[in-house]
Amino acid sequence: MKKKISLDRRRFLVRAAQLSGLFLLAGCENLSRKPWFEGLLSSAEGVTRRVQRLITPRKAMAREFTEADLSPVFPVNGTSDPDTEEYLALAQNNFSGWQLEVGGLVETPARFSLAELRQLPSRTQITRHDCVEGWSAIGKWKGVPLNIILDRVRPRPQARYVVFHSADPDELGQYYYESIDFEDAYHPQTILAYDLNDRPLPIGNGAPLRLRLERQLGYKMAKYVMRIELVDRLDNIAGGKGGYWEDQGYEWYAGI
């Protein structure tokens, strides 16, 4: 395992970044996760996306493909192997000791092992993943619909967003996280996937569990999900913008 960057060094980097007027650019270049290229949203493609979002109803289904359409290899992007002792220990035991924690603004907080998740009703979908870095891939995902989990824990009336906390910190110690609203949370294609192409999700693609949210861009689909939290606001979590990349300036609603 790679040695983790020391806390002092981390603090120094954070301060240096904060002091720098070039925070966004510098931050992006230093991060191993590598965001997509800058300027996309001002490009013609970005404009088309925005217009399309306005005319596509949120409830519409994303296109589903057939086995013949599957990409030969589904790429690994961003974190490929979370570099923490906790994750390493879980992975070494094939995630048998892993549990998904679901809490926050819910009536009955719960934990689910991988075996328990596999026993719940599942959905399988072959969909296209679009990353803003400029690549797409078609994969077959199987997992438990998020609405099944939400029905189990019973959201409180104040809950407005579902937040996914991941296992991977970056060089500055910021953990990856993402959030969606209830309309997307209850969408039938929003699943917590444990299989990719008929096999257990590989570590590179987010083992043991990752979000699939088929009508938004790749960065919304948190890999290595450890904890799900229901909240009424996003401004008091991490950088306050609702997601790891959002905290660095990218859009919260990344509709395709």
Ligand X SMILES: Nc1nc2c(c(=O)[nH]1)N[C@H]1C(S)=C(S)[C@@H](COP(=O)(O)O)O[C@H]1N2
- List residues near Mo ion by CB under 5 A: 131, 218-219
Secondary structure string (H, E, C) spanning the chain = CCCCCCHHHHHHHHHHHHHCCCHHHHHHHHCCCCCCCCCHHHCHHHHHHHHHHHHCCCCCCCCCCCHHHCCCCCCCCCCCCCCCHHHHHHHHCCCCCCEEEEEECECCCEEEEHHHHHHCCCEEEEEEEEECCCEEEEEEEEEEEHHHHHHHHCECCCCCEEEEEEEEECCCCCEEEEEEEHHHHCCCCCEEEEEECCEECCHHHCCCCEEECCCECHHHCCCCEEEEEEECCCCCCCCCCCCCCHHHCCCCCCEC
Stretch that binds ligand X, among 95-103, 142-150, 185-193, 217-225 (CB under 6 A): 217-225
Task: Name the binder of 255 from Mo ion, ligand X, none, CB < 5-8 A by kind.
Answer: none
Gap between the Cα atoms of 98 and 208, Å rounded: 8
Residue 223 binds to ligand X (criterion: CB under 6 A): yes
* Residue 221 contacts which entry, ligand X, Mo ion, none (Cβ below 5-8 A, type-dependent): ligand X
Q: What's the closest the beta carbon of residue 131 comes to Mo ion, in angstroms? A: 3
Interface residue with ligand X, options 28, 49, 78, 165 (CB under 6 A)? 78
Stretch that binds ligand X, among 50-58, 96-104, 113-121, 201-209 (CB under 6 A): 201-209
Rounded-to-integer distance, Cα 70 and Cα 140, Å: 7
If phi over 0 gives left and psi between -120 and 50 gives alpha, with beta otherwise, what is residue 141? beta
* Nearest to ligand X of 125, 205 (CB atom): 205
Q: How far is the CB of 102 from ligand X (least distance, A)?
A: 17
Q: Nearer Cβ to ligand X, position 159 or 207?
A: 207
Q: Is 194 in the site for ligand X (CB under 6 A)?
A: no
Within 15-54, the residues that bind ligand X by CB under 6 A are 33
Q: Which is nearer to ligand X, 75 or 155 (CB)?
A: 75
Decide whether 43 or 158 has the Cβ nearer to ligand X.
43
> Residue 192 interacts with ligand X (CB under 6 A)?
no
Q: What are phi and psi of 148, to 5 degrees?
A: -65, -45
Contact status: 250 vs ligand X (CB under 6 A): no
Q: Does 222 bind ligand X (CB under 6 A)?
A: yes
Query: Measured at CB, which residue is nearest to ligand X?
Result: 78
Residues in the chain: 256
Query: Binding residue for ligand X (CB under 6 A) from 77, 127, 174, 179?
Result: 77
Show contacts with ligand X in window 118-177 (CB under 6 A): 131, 166, 168, 176
Which residues sit at the interface with ligand X, rule CB under 6 A? Answer: 33, 75-79, 131, 166, 168, 176, 204-206, 218-219, 221-224
